[in-house]
Structure 1
Amino acid sequence: MADTDVLVIGGGIGGLGNAYALASGGHRVRVLERSPAFTEVGAGLQLAPNATRVLREWGLLDEVLDAGVQPRRLVLKDAVDGTELTSLEFDKGFTARYGAPYVVIHRTDLLDILHRACLRAGVDLRAGHEVRDLTVDDRGVRADGEHEADAALAADGLWSSLRSRLTDDTPICSGYVAYRGALPVSEVTGVDADALTDVVVHFGPGCHLVQYPLRRGEMLNTVAVFASPGYQRGDADWGGPEELDAAFAGTCPAVQRGLAWLWRDRRWPMYDRLPTDTWVDGRLALTGDAAHPMLQYLAQGACQALEDAHCLAGEAAKRQHAEPADWPEILAAFARSRSARTARVQSTARIWGELWHCDGLTRSLRNALLTGRALDDYQYVDWLYLD
């Protein structure tokens, strides 16, 4: 018998979330992370109630609330003229409706919380271990000839090398690129007060800017996204700072100020993949971005990864009295439970991206629709936050 029940390949938010959930259910879990430490490069992320409900059930929500910020509301504005179009209040009614709060948190802080939780749960965490070979058969899995387990989870992200065992698809470039920045509030000047209490989205033709506070309000997170003309031309090097400035040239003063707070020495081209329901090959399953990478417009990447972890642990718990554990059936049940929902999130994220970045008559119609929305209308988020 292997000394490990589940081998998790990838130590990001999805990988550690799965490791903690399974270990909390009594399973022996080992995580192999190729980087020398369990850390991520990035800035802020948003945790909607469908994720914070999971964190509450895991006993981690208090740590998340202490490290993050509960914003007052989500505000949508026109990037060209700065007009506020609509908002969603994150008040007591919102929290009661969805059973948990909306939280924004630094990506590194969430990873640290999950890392500490895994240590408490007895997860075997091994950094600096890149998996180069994985053998899967009826008896179990073996990574690089030394790490044996009854099952394996591929939590190795958008560019997952293990996904190629199940499908021959490749990541799809959207032609958009993101610039990010997270700075101490003391280092920014002239920022709108809303950006220090709310999640504020300015969207315009082919571009948008998002701002919200982090780390108990001590930092300001800014993300700028735009369609790259260089990508459309087929340039080898596209999405540079000069394209950033040109894309936002016609935007309002609040957006222009936000551009000054971005890191300009790095950028993130935006990719996703088409939905697939082929997540499982016997004792190997995809999870998180390896299974369902999505564009960022619904802010659901981390949320869906945490949902995955909760679901898989639940499927394992249903069969906890089986000896030995039927991991092929557990993984298959997990995929059946999750693939339709994540496919909807992936597809809807693409649609929202088109809505955010439209111009001309479509922009006017979008603005009129949003301006006329009742502030207590939840029809666009109930399906996402209640499930």
Structure 2
Amino acid sequence: MGNSKSNPFIVVGGGIGGLATALGLAQNNQYVKVLEQAPGFLEIGAGIQLAANATNVLQRLGVMERIHDIAVFPKRLVLMDAFTGEELSALDLGDVYKERYGAPYIVLHRSDLHKALYEACLENPYIELHTDHSIVKTEQDGEQVTVTAANGNVHTGMAVVGADGIWSKVRPLFSDDEPVCSEYVAYRGAIPMEEVTNIGNLDDVYMWIGPNLHLVQYPVRRGELYNQVVVFKSKQYRKEIEKTDDWGTPEEMDEVFSGTCELVQTAISFIQRQRRWPMYDRVPINDWTDGRVTLLGDAAHPMLQYLAQGGCQALEDAAYLADMVEESSTVEEAFKKYQEERIPRTAYVQNSARMWGEIIHAEQPETILLRNTIFENRTSQDFTFIDQFHGYKNYKTKVNNKG
């Protein structure tokens, strides 16, 4: 299958998934046009965790080389009790992990990853990048697809990949569903490492858990910054105020985390309070492809963050889609094969993320005791719980040799 610069793949959305998709397609000598709604290719948020199922894709795309010196390679994932301060369980992320999955576990600032993907796209002659393109209409006509932006610009190509996030403008072609509010909010931020004291091993990723709350901590940007994410369920939440800032407030955060151990309290004192992120996902859908239009990443399968798999699944999508385009004779065939593989996979991860949220946020003493007992009786090199997520290998043996 081949195309031309005047008849490209159109990727709607210039986030991590959209840019990775462009790179994957371009490696197969496909022309790609990326349309981003924002005035620039920027990534908001703070840190991102990438397991081996994602870093395998970054290796394949040549992006790992770009981020190697700025990413952090943690030694362990550590689960802590937010109230007692005790370690509940840990996972070894060293050589054994890398040998098992073929790639490392890394943490980095989202903007650093996005910048590396963006620069790789800029340098690729098969990729064209456009900003200020909020898509309002997508139409198919025979062997072409046309998208219209709010600014009046119209683009025509051989296919469209909607990678425009949880509030996707392309998704309504397949479903009239709405994002589901989890009633949890997150506060995020990264502080200079010199301000961090008395928190343990800075080479580790920590997750402090408790009833209806958790805190995640890890270093980013060569270890110069310390990323922190505070998450809790709001008792103030009501459907009628969902779109307002009247629930999940900083004051409620302080109340929910009162009584946690000193290390958690210290972290809360440093967290940025200017912006909160309500946490949404969607129920998995059975179809996200129609002819020459398909979805990818959060536009297709937005998930809660409890498995740190949102970005990972978008990267898996990008690699598998590129593979199907390379081996198929038509776009329709490629998109169908892509969907057949990715829908069951991502639905499983979406549902698992919800379940994991219930586990780490458990309230009942019996449930907490059972959870902690299971965790305490596993070793740091027991990968049973993560094999099905980090060990996805359908694409990783396909190494690009096209330069």
| Pairwise CA RMSD | 1.3
Question: Matched residues in 2 for 1:58 and 1:233: separation?
Answer: 42
In 2, are the aligned partners of 1:275 and 1:343 still within 8 Å (CA)? yes
Amino acid at match of 1:378: F
Calculate the TM-score normalised by the size of structure 1. Answer: 0.96
Deviation, 1:137, is 2.4
Residue matched to 2:128: 124
Q: How does 1:102-181 map to 2 (within 5 A)?
A: 102-122=105-125, 123-144=127-148, 146-181=154-189
1:232 to partner: Cα distance: 4.6
Deviation at 1:2, TM superposition (A): 7.4
Cα gap change, 1:121/1:189 in structure 2, threshold over 3 Å: closer, same or farther? closer
Give the TM-score taking structure 2 as reference length. Answer: 0.92
- Determine the C-alpha separation between the residues in 2 that align with 1:367 and 1:355: 10
Which residue number in structure 2 is paired with residue 241 of structure 1? Answer: 250
For 1:193, which of 187, 200, 208 is the aligned residue?
A: 200
Residue 386 of structure 1: how far off its partner (Å):
1.3
Q: Residue 333 of structure 1 is aligned with which of 328, 337, 343?
A: 337
What is the 5 A alignment of 1:36-55?
36-55=39-58
* Distance apart, 1:361 and its partner CA: 2.0
CA contact (8 A) 2:297 2:314 kept: yes
Seq. identity, %: 46
Residues paired across the two proteins, number: 380
Please tell me the residue identity of whatever aligns with 2:77: L
Alignment of 1:177-256 (within 5 A): 177-186=185-194, 188-194=195-201, 196-232=202-238, 235=241, 236=244, 237-256=246-265
Q: CA deviation at 1:143?
A: 1.5
| Contact 1:4–1:30 under 8 Å retained in 2 | no
Q: 1:214 to 1:154 in 2, by over 3 A?
A: same
Check whether the contact 1:40–1:108 (CA below 8 A) recurs between aligned residues.
yes
Deviation at 1:34, TM superposition (A): 0.8
Q: Where in structure 1 are there 5+ consecutive unaligned residues?
A: none
Tell whether the 8 Å contact from 1:248 to 1:256 is kept in structure 2 after alignment: yes
Distance across 2 between alignment mates of 1:318 and 1:336? 15
Residue 86 of structure 1 deviates from its aligned partner by: 0.7
Matched, 1:58 2:61: yes
Which letter does structure 1 place at the counterpart of 2:209? F
Alpha-carbon distance in structure 2 between the residues aligned to 1:67 and 1:352? 30
Paired with 1:285 and 1:97, the residues of 2 have a C-alpha distance of 32
SS, match of residue 321 in structure 2: helix
Q: Which runs of 4+ in 1 moved over 4 A?
A: 232-236
Question: Contact between 1:137 and 1:282, CA under 8 Å: does it hold in 2?
Answer: no
Match of 1:260 among 253, 269, 281: 269
Amino acid at match of 1:337: E
Aligned-pair CA distance for 1:292? 0.4
Kindly indicate whether the alpha-carbon contact (under 8 Å) linking 2:5 and 2:31 is maintained by their aligned counterparts in 1: no
Q: Aligned partners of 1:364, 1:2: CA distance in 2, in Å?
A: 60
SS in structure 1 of the partner of residue 35 of structure 2 = strand
Of 346, 356, 359, 2:360 maps to: 356
Deviation at 1:355, TM superposition (A): 0.4
Distance 2:35 2:349 in 1: 28
